[in-house]
Structure 1
Amino acid sequence: MNAVLVVARHELRLLVSLALWVARRRHQTGSGTAFGYARGQGPVMFGLAFVCVVESITMSVLLRDHPAVHRVVFLLDVYTIVLVVALHAASVVRPHVLDADSLRIRRAAHVDLRIPVEKIAHVRRELRTTHERAEGELDVVIGAQTSVTLELADTVPYFGFLGRRRDIRLVRFHADDADALVRAITTARSAPSPRPDRPG
């Protein structure tokens, strides 16, 4: 897929997330249980937005004698601020979701991985603040940390931002309440499978 189109679609998802955040709604949680992961990153994101505001004011002063350039730079600065806030909004409205069949691991609008519950071999609470890229492993890092580790009984496909496929056998990700999520996954894994209907 064309990289420009991918970026445009990603930014559209961010803007939709911003609208959902303003409306206090979540994105596609259905009947599953949502687990947030954005609690610790809010101050950092709004700090970044504040820096962008200061930069915008500074550029407005520097370019006050060049109105045409000033208008263009001002619009770009405002759009950047909107995207920074939208990035945080996407993390809030797109939580991880666990239902009877699958665990959906997300990070803002650019990671969305569904893992069937039956493919989860082991789950544990594991806080890590350093991560090295390894074949077959995916680190969905929030605020430089992950707090839950999944070992899979079989690989699952993961498609990166530009569509590149990787086969994943281990996933590390963060949840605000990692202990509750680990317990919920353990319970879902141990739940009995529904019996097939008997032939009439």
Structure 2
Amino acid sequence: MIVYRLARHEMRLFAGLALWLARRTEGTTGGRVFGYARGQGATLLGLAFVCLVETVGVAVMLRDMPLAHDVMLVLDIYTVLFVVALHAAGAVRPHVLTADALRVRYGAQVDLRIPRTAIAAVRRETRMTHEPAPDALDLAVGSQTTVTLELAEPVVHTTMLGRRRRVRVVRLYADDTAGLVRALAPG
């Protein structure tokens, strides 16, 4: 079951890459979109560049060992694509606010629907450190969250590997923090 979930996650990553290249988004119809990929874009694309340089370096070092060269080339190219797909997954799966719910997402890993009636308080709060708490879900981008949602009733979050837990506090990052807080504020 774990292998299935990991394979599904990778397929969603690469589907996100295809959507990103086609300049499309997933699951945003009928809602207001709040992105978060800008906060991680430079870091992930910088990492992809470093992986690409490493690919070239290893290819040169292993040029006299054809089997090792070919194996490492395949693995290195896969790694570069994987890192770019991580960024793409965040870009094509933004947070989505509809009339009845906020869909909080984090790439291909998290897709949590929070009914608007369950949101007791929302505030702009920039946090760089996140102490693990059993009832909190922290979706940091670049080790930072900018919005804190306190829930009147817990919602069930299912992890990528299928573990379920109830959360009462959700901290997330949004490129347009003020806009998301305004849109969620009562009145």
Cα distance, 1:40 vs structure 2? 2.3
Q: Supply the AA of the counterpart residue of 1:40.
A: G
Q: Supply the AA of the counterpart residue of 1:101.
A: D
CA distance in 1 between counterparts of 2:170 and 2:42 reads 26
Cα distance, 1:3 vs structure 2? 1.7
Aligned length: 187
* Secondary structure of residue in 1 paired with 2:138: strand
CA distance in 1 between counterparts of 2:90 and 2:45 reads 13
CA distance in 1 between counterparts of 2:165 and 2:53 reads 40
Q: How does 1:20-169 map to 2 (within 5 A)?
A: 20-169=19-168
Q: Please provide the CA RMSD for this pair.
A: 0.9
Instruction: Please give the per-residue CA displacement for 1:39-94, whole angstroms capped at 9, x wherever unaligned.
Output: 12111111101111111111111211111121111011101100100110111110
Q: Supply the AA of the counterpart residue of 2:126.
A: L
Q: Supply the AA of the counterpart residue of 1:173.
A: L
After TM superposition, the structure 1 stretch with the greater mean CA deviation from structure 2, 81-90 or 39-48, is: 39-48
CA distance in 2 between counterparts of 1:186 and 1:40 reads 23
CA distance in 1 between counterparts of 2:116 and 2:78 reads 40
Report the identity percentage: 57
Q: Supply the AA of the counterpart residue of 1:130.
A: T
The corresponding residue for 1:3 is 2
CA distance in 1 between counterparts of 2:160 and 2:38 reads 24
Instruction: Please give the per-residue CA displacement for 1:143-178, whole angstroms capped at 9, x wherever unaligned.
Output: 110000001000100011211111000110010111
After TM superposition, the structure 1 stretch with the greater mean CA deviation from structure 2, 57-66 or 11-20, is: 57-66
CA distance in 1 between counterparts of 2:54 and 2:29 reads 40
Q: Supply the AA of the counterpart residue of 2:119.
A: I
Which runs of 5 or more residues in structure 2 are unaligned? none
| Higher Cα radius of gyration | 1
Q: Supply the AA of the counterpart residue of 1:81.
A: V
Q: Supply the AA of the counterpart residue of 2:14.
A: L
* Secondary structure of residue in 2 paired with 1:41: helix
Cα distance, 1:6 vs structure 2? 1.2
Tell me if 1:182 matches 2:184.
Answer: no
CA distance in 1 between counterparts of 2:123 and 2:14 reads 34
Cα distance, 1:184 vs structure 2? 0.6
CA distance in 1 between counterparts of 2:178 and 2:129 reads 20
Runs of 4+ aligned structure 1 residues displaced above 3 Å come to none
Which runs of 5 or more residues in structure 1 are unaligned? 191-200
CA distance in 2 between counterparts of 1:181 and 1:129 reads 19
Cα distance, 1:99 vs structure 2? 0.1
